[in-house]
Amino acid sequence: MNKTCWIGTRKGLIKLKQDADNHWQLSAPQFVGDPVTQILPDTGNGTMYVALNLGHFGPKLHRSSDQGLTWQECSSPSFPKQSDNPDEGQSVELIWTIEKGAGDDLWTGTVPAGLFRSRDKGDSWEFIDSLSSLPASSEWFGGGFDEPGIHSICIDPRDGDCLTVAISCGGAWRSTDGGISWQEKANGMRAEYVPPEQAFDHNIQDPHRVIACPADPDRMWSQHHNGIFKYDESDGLWVEIKNVVPSAFGFALAVHPKEKDTAWFVPAVKDECRIPVDNKLVVLRTRDGGKSFDILSEGLPQEHSYDLIYRHCLDIAADGDTLMMGSTSGNLWVSENGGDHWNCLSNNLADIYCVKFGHD
């Protein structure tokens, strides 16, 4: 079966499809000129979604029931109106993640940090106040944006009421009752950017990305601001993977759909610099749960690279071998052998904000 992949860029949405010879073909762009901040191609019911962040007119959500041939705007998540005082209350600035839940459920995470659920394919959204009203939320702070944001929502495929969200910067939180109540889920994460006595404070952690292994959701991986961490539910603890070369800093993460010990990361120089180490773009792959890493560089630029891979810009297809990666410099690469070799598909796109494989 030929694969499909969707690329959200600062200047529009691009569909890639493999042709009969398995070559990737880029389609004409859609939403030309508009920043595409998130894509949900596979909802299981034939509807796909894209989130836009219109520079002047705010975040918008569109859906398609014909695999992206035509689009209709639907309702966007919004914070409830707080009071008659116009100085109070938050407004969604960015739809940062969209995930499919049980049945037709959709979940979105936003900047500022808000969690929303739709049970009607995006016709309406319920604000999950229980998370935002946690006393701990007053201590959350921005990481990359002025306001804290939710970028990762891991929904347990065995139980749609069990979800883990990750917040930059506000740690990780789990609900086992569909968002009614929440428990801290950042035990073991370590932060280098605060005074040492606060390093293990759950609430100030900056997990740049958290993904659970689809075949074994009790294993989660995180590319954290200052390290790579893995979590096993049996231990209830994040364990830091140390001595990662060339760097443990990064944003993007991909987890093998079946093998929980196999994951990919894209290292960079922290904190303000944010370029590949020595201007050489590489991907790290572990196949043994972080005991060792392969440094994969074949086909990637090994000089003069300023490519940063944002947290939603590395994805893996259901086959576990095909990876797609897009950068802030508008470069797009595919690997069809688990990262051993990368082919450049374009050097000319706008900044890439998200990469998502569609139906196989």
Partner 1 sequence: MASVEFTPNLSRHIECETLSSNGANLRELIDEICCDNPQLKPYILDDQDRLRKHVTVFIDGVQVQDRKGLNDLINMESSVYIAQALSGG
- Contact residues: partner 1, CB under 8 A: 54-58, 60, 73, 76, 78-82, 86-92
Bridge partners of 167, per DSSP, are 150, 171
DSSP designation for 197: G
Token pair in block for residue 152: 């990762």
How far, in Å, are 64, 79, 212, 346 from residue 181 at the CA level?
33, 19, 20, 45
Q: Which is nearer to partner 1, 78 or 329 (CB)?
A: 78
From the CB of 52, what's the least distance to partner 1, in Å? 9
Q: Which is nearer to partner 1, 68 or 77 (CB)?
A: 77
Q: Pick from 73, 47, 46, 78: which is nearest to 61 by CA?
A: 73
From the CB of 218, what's the least distance to partner 1, in Å? 36
Q: Which is nearer to partner 1, 148 or 267 (CB)?
A: 148
From the CB of 7, what's the least distance to partner 1, in Å? 21
Distance CA 239, CA 189 (A): 7
Q: Which is nearer to partner 1, 66 or 73 (CB)?
A: 73
How far, in Å, are 33, 105, 191, 325 from residue 344 at the CA level?
23, 36, 35, 10
From the CB of 85, what's the least distance to partner 1, in Å? 9
Find where tokens 């529009």 sit: 12
Q: Which is nearer to partner 1, 19 or 88 (CB)?
A: 88
Distance CA 158, CA 153 (A): 15
From the CB of 317, what's the least distance to partner 1, in Å? 32
